[in-house]
Structure 1
C-alpha cells in the first residue's frame, strides 16, 4: 500500500475491512468490497485503540519480583504490577523457563493458547507460543475445543471421520434448497454466529443461501429453547424444548419410526451396525422403559402427538436433520450427536444430496455454506514443529490440571494423568473469559510457580499473571489471512504504529529464544517480512501442484488472491461416497459402517 494513502486493508474472523487512518489512529472502519452481508463486529476495531485498556510496557507482579519467583500465587490478581524494562522482563521469563525445565522437565510447562485473536497465518499467537515451546523441548498441551470438544470425541467413533472435517461436508445449502422439503434443526441455525469464520471470511453469503431455502419452499422446524436461534425470514416453526432434552425428543421420534415400521431397514442393514442393540434400549427391552413419544413429552415438554406427527412427516417429506454445537456443550454432550446420526440412519437418507444429517449449520459461516468446491491445497502457516512431550488434557480441564497434579482421569477410552504444572505460558485468548466456574479457575490459577502472559490488553488473564509482555494488535503488524473453506486470501497491512512499547509475539519469543540458546531454531534466520513471503511462496507452490495459479507475493500484497470455484472439480462428500458404495468406500470405523452401537 502506498505510504501516502490512509486506507489499509485488514482481515478478521468476521470479515475483511478497510481501516481509514489519520493522525495516527483509525477513524473509520468500512467493509471491503465484495462482501454481500458484512458484519457490524468490524467496528470493534475502533475500540481496540482504547489506550486505557492497552498494556504499555512489560510488567512484573510485585510479590513475584521481590521474591525472585517464589511468591504466594494466591496474590495473583491482588498484587500491584511493577513496570520493568524489556530486558529485565525477558531475563526473568527466560530464567523461569530454564529453571522449570531443569528441575521438573518440559511436561511441567503448560502452553496455553486458546482464542481467535488474529486471523493471520503468521502472527497467530497459538502457533507462535507452541513453536517456541516445542523448540525449547515441548510442553503439556490441550486437545479439543470449548466449542466442539465432545463432538470431536464421539463422532469418530460413530462415523470414523473427524467431527470438524465432517462439518465442512454437511449437505450444501444449494442442495438443501433443491432436494429437501423439511429441515429439522436441533439448536437452530443462528444468523449471529455466521458472522464469523475460522481464519477469516471474504463474503458473507449464508443469508442469501438461506433465503434460497425459503424461496424453494423448504420448511424449517427450529428445536431450541431460544426462538431467535433461527432467522425470521425462514418463517420456521419453533419447538421450545426444555434445555438439554433434545435426545429425549430424538428418542421419541425414533420410537415412533420403529414401532410404526417407518424406519429404513434396508439402509440400517447395509450401512449400519448395532441397530438391534439400540432397539433393545429404545423399546425398553433392556431397562423396562419404552422411549416412546409420551415418555419423551414428559422430559422435553413437547406434546406427544406432535412428536408422533413429526416422525411420520420426516418420512413423508425429504428431510434434513441438523444439529448445532450448543447441544454437545452440556453433561453427556456426546449423546445428541450420536442420536441425531442414529435418527438420520433410521430415515435412510444419509448421503443423499441435501438430505440426511448436517453438523454445525449456524455455528460458523462456512459449515454448510461453502459449496462443493473445496480449496484443493493447504495454505501455509507458521509451523509449530513437533512436541516431544506426550502429556495432554482436554482443553476445558485446565482448572483440574492445575489443582490436581498426579491424579488420573478417563478421557476417550484412556486413563490419563495430570502432570504437575509449574509454569504456564499463555499467549492468545483469555481463559477467564471462556472457562466455566471462574472462581474455581482463579483458585487453581494460584498453584503454578510462574505464569507468563503475552497480551495487548489488561484482560483478567493478564491481571492474574506474574510476567506480562505487551503485544501488538493485528492493526499494528503485517500478516495475511486465508479462512477455513475459503477460496480467497487477504493481505493484512500495518495500519498503526505499535502502542507504546508493545512488540509482536514473534519478537518476544525471539528474545526469549536468544536467551535460551534456541534463536536459530525458532527464527530460522528470518525476520517477520521474510516469514510472510516464505509462507506465501510455500502456498503458491502447493497451489501449483493442484493446478491453481496464485500471484507472486507483491501482487498478492496489493490485490489479494481469489480462486475461481468453477476451476475446482465438485467434491463428492464422504457420506455420499459411502452411501453409493459402502463396500468400495467404507467409513474408517472398525466395521466400515455407521456404528450405532460399537462392539469395540
Structure 2
C-alpha cells in the first residue's frame, strides 16, 4: 500500500483520536491475529510493517518517493536484534556492595536480575542520595534519542517522576545546538536555531547557486525529530532536476555530493 502525504496525515489524525477511547474499543483484527500489515511511523517516516506470529518480518516505506530511504527496511532488525538488552543487568561488584563496589566502571562483569530487584536497587540509591544531599544531587537528564512522541520520551517521563519525588538538577539546550538556544534569544530576540527557514519552493525559484556547508542532507533527511514526511529529500530531487549548480564545502565526498554528480563542485 502506497499513501500520499495528505492521506497519511489524515489517517494519523484518526488513529490519534482512536487512542483516546482505546480502553473501551475492541482490538483491531491484526492485533488479535498477530499478523498482517500495519501502517505505522518512526523517526525515519511512515512504514508498512509486515507481522507474522507476533514478529516483524519486513518493513517498507508507505509514502511515494523518488529517493529510497534505507532506514525504512530495518524495523525487523531493530526490534529483534540479539544486540538488544532484554533483561535488567547490574555490575557484579555493585550488586555485592552497592555503597563500595570493588571494581570500577568498565572493569566489572554484569549479572542478570529481576525487574523487582532492579527497581528495588534504584529506589534504595535514589532515596539515599536525595536524603543525604538534596534534590540538586539528582541529575534527571537521560538525554538521547528515543521513540517518537511525548509518551515515549524518556527524559520527560524521568523528570516528571523526579519532580514528584522532590525536584532535580536539569539542563538547557541540546546536543544539536549546544548553548545557542540560551544565547540567541539575547542576541537576536528568538531561539533562531529552530525558527522557520526559507521554504524550499522559494529556494528552487530564486536561487542561482546552492551552497552546502559541511552537511550531508541525503543522509540526515532520512530522519526527523518526530517523523519525517520525506519532503526534504523530494526537494533535493527537484534541485537536482533543475540543473542548478551546487557547491559542497566538505572534508569528505558524501552521499549528497555523489547524488548531484557533475552538478556539484
Return the TM-score normalized by structure 2: 0.77
Contact residue 139 and residue 170 of structure 2 kept, 8 A: yes
What secondary structure, in the 3-state scheme, does the structure 1 residue paired with 2:248 have? Answer: strand
Deviations 1:337-374 (A, max 9, x none): xxxxxxxxxxxxxxxxxxxxxxxxxxxxxxxxxxxxxx
Tell me if 1:136 matches 2:165.
yes
Tell me if 1:24 matches 2:62.
no
For residue 47 of structure 1, what is the aligned residue in structure 2?
77
Deviations 1:465-487 (A, max 9, x none): xxxxxxxxxxxxxxxxxxxxxxx
How far, CA to CA, are the matches of 1:53 and 1:77 in structure 2?
18
Tell me if 1:60 matches 2:87.
no
TM-fit CA distance, 1:121: 2.8
TM-fit CA distance, 1:116: 1.9
Deviations 1:82-101 (A, max 9, x none): 33232222122111111111
For residue 25 of structure 2, what is the aligned residue in structure 1?
none
- Change in Cα spacing, 1:44 to 1:142, as seen in structure 2 (3 Å) is farther
How far, CA to CA, are the matches of 2:133 and 2:175 in structure 1?
29
How far, CA to CA, are the matches of 1:174 and 1:231 in structure 2?
23
TM-fit CA distance, 1:179: 1.7
For residue 490 of structure 1, what is the aligned residue in structure 2?
none
How far, CA to CA, are the matches of 2:72 and 2:94 in structure 1?
38
Contact residue 58 and residue 75 of structure 2 kept, 8 A: no
For residue 22 of structure 2, what is the aligned residue in structure 1?
none
How far, CA to CA, are the matches of 2:58 and 2:132 in structure 1?
52
Instruction: Give the counterpart of 2:152 among 123, 126, 130.
Output: 123
Instruction: Give the counterpart of 1:111 among 116, 140, 143.
Output: 140
What secondary structure, in the 3-state scheme, does the structure 2 residue paired with 1:191 have? Answer: helix
User: Which one has a bigger Cα radius of gyration?
Assistant: 1
Contact residue 176 and residue 213 of structure 1 kept, 8 A: no
Instruction: Give the counterpart of 1:11 among 35, 38, 41.
Output: 41
How far, CA to CA, are the matches of 1:127 and 1:35 in structure 2?
34
What secondary structure, in the 3-state scheme, does the structure 2 residue paired with 1:222 have? Answer: strand
Q: For the aligned residues, what is the CA RMSD?
A: 2.5
For residue 237 of structure 2, what is the aligned residue in structure 1?
211
How far, CA to CA, are the matches of 1:39 and 1:215 in structure 2?
19
TM-fit CA distance, 1:109: 1.2
TM-fit CA distance, 1:104: 0.4
- Change in Cα spacing, 1:227 to 1:159, as seen in structure 2 (3 Å) is farther
How far, CA to CA, are the matches of 1:6 and 1:102 in structure 2?
52
For residue 250 of structure 2, what is the aligned residue in structure 1?
224
What secondary structure, in the 3-state scheme, does the structure 1 residue paired with 2:119 have? Answer: helix
Q: How does 1:370-449 map to 2 (within 5 A)?
A: none
Contact residue 14 and residue 41 of structure 1 kept, 8 A: yes
TM-fit CA distance, 1:78: 2.4
- Change in Cα spacing, 1:35 to 1:218, as seen in structure 2 (3 Å) is closer
TM-fit CA distance, 1:32: 1.9
TM-fit CA distance, 1:221: 1.9
For residue 460 of structure 1, what is the aligned residue in structure 2?
none
How far, CA to CA, are the matches of 2:36 and 2:213 in structure 1?
46
User: Which ranges in structure 1 are unaligned for 5 or more consecutive residues?
Assistant: 239-600
Contact residue 244 and residue 263 of structure 2 kept, 8 A: no
Tell me if 1:76 matches 2:102.
no
User: Which ranges in structure 2 are unaligned for 5 or more consecutive residues?
Assistant: 1-27
Aligned length: 234
TM-fit CA distance, 1:231: 5.5
For residue 102 of structure 1, what is the aligned residue in structure 2?
131
- Change in Cα spacing, 1:146 to 1:32, as seen in structure 2 (3 Å) is same
How far, CA to CA, are the matches of 2:63 and 2:234 in structure 1?
17
Using CA pairs below 8 Å that are at least 6 residues apart, which structure has the higher relative contact order? 1
- Change in Cα spacing, 1:189 to 1:68, as seen in structure 2 (3 Å) is closer
Return the TM-score normalized by structure 1: 0.36
Q: How does 1:171-190 map to 2 (within 5 A)?
A: 171-188=198-215, 190=217
TM-fit CA distance, 1:129: 1.3
